[in-house]
């Protein structure tokens, strides 16, 4: 399994808007893709901005390619989502998940 991590920064209002976008637009689209397992949006207040991090889990790098294309390190952020952000990483990181537990 592969974990794909991406980060951004937003105002409080922008973070709320991105949260709604993540839940109502992005996750429903990701759920349609073969090999997508789950997605998580994390937020942390950092002074006067909110730091956002997305974690998406995929069956394999091939599954990530269906979403991201051949350059797996390139962030995929639609213009609608970019409008909510002050700054966004243009690259993502991938991690091999060695252990997974569920409650």
Domain containing residue 63: 2-96
Query: In this predicted structure, what is the pLDDT of residue 102?
Result: 80
Residue 102 lies in a domain: no
Average pLDDT of the segment spanning 77-101: 96
2, 61 in Cβ contact below 8 A? Answer: yes
Q: What is the pLDDT of residues 20-42, one digit of tens each?
A: 999 999 999 999 999 999 999 99
Output the domain CATH number for residue 78.
3.30.70.100
Residue 63 lies in a domain: yes
Bridge partner list, 87: 9
Closest CA to 56 of 95, 99, 17, 19: 95
What single string gives the DSSP state of each residue in 22-81?
IIIIIHHHHHTSTTEEEEEEEEEEETTEEEEEEEEEES-HHHHHHHH-S-TTB----HHH
- Tell me the pTM: 0.92
Residue 101 lies in a domain: no
Q: What is the count of structural domains for the chain?
A: 1
Query: In this predicted structure, what is the pLDDT of residue 52?
Result: 98
Residue 103 lies in a domain: no
Q: What is the pLDDT of residues 65-82, one digit of tens each?
A: 999 999 999 999 999 999
């Amino acid at each position: 399994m592969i974990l794909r991590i991406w980060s951004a920064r937003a105002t409080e209002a922008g973070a709320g808007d991105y949260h709604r976008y993540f839940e109502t637009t992005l996750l429903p689209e990701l759920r349609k893709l073969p090999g997508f397992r789950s997605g998580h949006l994390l937020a942390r207040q950092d002074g006067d901005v909110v730091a956002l991090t997305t974690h998406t889990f995929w069956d394999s790098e091939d599954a990530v390619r269906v979403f991201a294309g051949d350059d797996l390190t390139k962030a995929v952020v639609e213009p609608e989502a970019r409008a909510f952000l002050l700054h966004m990483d243009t690259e993502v990181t991938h991690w091999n998940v060695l252990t997974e537990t569920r409650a």
